[in-house]
Amino acid sequence: MHRVKVAVVGAGVVGLSTAVVIAEALPHCSVTVLADRFTPNTTSDGAAGILFASQFPDVPVEQQRRWFKRTFDHLLLIASSPEAGVAGVFLSSGWQIFREVPPEKKPYWSDCVLSFGTMTDAELKRFPQYKFGQAFTTIKCECPSYLPWLQKRLEKAGGIMIHEKVTDLAELGLRYDVIVNCSGLGSRELLGDEDVHPVRGQVLRVHAPWLQHFVRVADGHTYIYPGAGGVTLGGTRQAADSQAIFERCRRLEPSLGSARPLGEWVGLRPGRRNPRVERGHVRVHGRRVPVVHNYGHGGWGITLSWGTALDALDLVRQCLNERPPEARL
């Protein structure tokens, strides 16, 4: 039987998740990940990695909920397994706080996480400038550990990884039967998709092992996420300096005043009004080579990665089912 050659472009958390899902579900496919950067040099490696999401404007809420829940459930299995430590996946409890009481008091993902509820007055007293809060347990997924773990899982399923900067999908269509585009910000140049835009991210990491609970201000510009190797402080969606981030976080959590700095990360996330998870094609010598797109997750790449990967798998299956009979031999 002819082995179908599948190329996955991009080796961040979305690309590797998609490659693993395809390689494990479709053993008759030969899956190759092509990227110019692998861990620890991907955008995903700089992510705070806590499962949390805001709502995209034009994607059905039930679809977003499915993406979130499938990712949460996948990572919860890892967090409950002997692999948790090496994969860098674990439960994290804490609070999201609001300056004013929001009109929608429950986000669409509230029944996907664990123990979601409204903060008590006693809990809110720790944050006197804030009038409302949500308490819940979610998952922290640290990509400097998780991405190498995914790579090994991919290799076990027969997938391979090649260091190559892809600049032309049609050229790739000469070598592969199906192309899966998970190039993130690279899709702006690769596809001419001007809806993709760089969103600046900046985080600090400090040594503060006494902090056990995350705190996130609802606007997303200030957060404190304890992790395995330090506490991540953020963030920003515009230019800011490290001192400004640290001061905002210290106002939330005064004990950070004695934290020791470990480092910082500044990078560009693939912003888009909505993620693009859909089919397309490129023409190569008069034939149509199917392309499945899975990119544009913005700051929610880890949060939605496994869910959109499973949708991409369904789209790859559709492409394979539509191939002419002679191509399936």
- The torsion of the CA quartet 140, 144, 145, 151, rounded to 10 degrees, works out to 120
Three-state secondary-structure class, residue 232: strand
Please indicate if the annotation marks 223 as binding a ligand. yes
Please indicate if the annotation marks 303 as binding a ligand. yes
Please indicate if the annotation marks 269 as binding a ligand. yes
Please indicate if the annotation marks 166 as binding a ligand. yes
Q: Which of 42, 131, 140, 132 lies closest to 89 in space, CA to CA?
A: 140
Please indicate if the annotation marks 301 as binding a ligand. yes
Please indicate if the annotation marks 85 as binding a ligand. no
Cα 309 to chain centroid, rounded: 11
Tokens of 105: 């008091």
Please indicate if the annotation marks 302 as binding a ligand. yes
Please indicate if the annotation marks 235 as binding a ligand. no
Q: To which residue do tokens 């760089």 refer? A: 198
Please indicate if the annotation marks 162 as binding a ligand. no
Provide φ and ψ at 147, rounded to 5°. Answer: -65, -45
Please give the Cα distance from 182 to 154 (Å, whole number).
16
Tokens of 160: 């391979």
Query: What residues have CB less than 8 Å from 184, skipping those under 6 apart?
Result: 10, 12, 14, 15, 43, 196, 270, 295, 296, 297, 301
Please indicate if the annotation marks 300 as binding a ligand. yes
Please indicate if the annotation marks 111 as binding a ligand. no
**Burial level of 210, CB count in 10 A (0-12/13-18/19+)?**
exposed
Please indicate if the annotation marks 179 as binding a ligand. no
Known binding-site residue numbers for FAD: 36-37, 43-44, 166, 298-303
Known binding-site residue numbers for D-dopa: 223, 269, 299
Known binding-site residue numbers: 36-37, 43-44, 166, 223, 269, 298-303
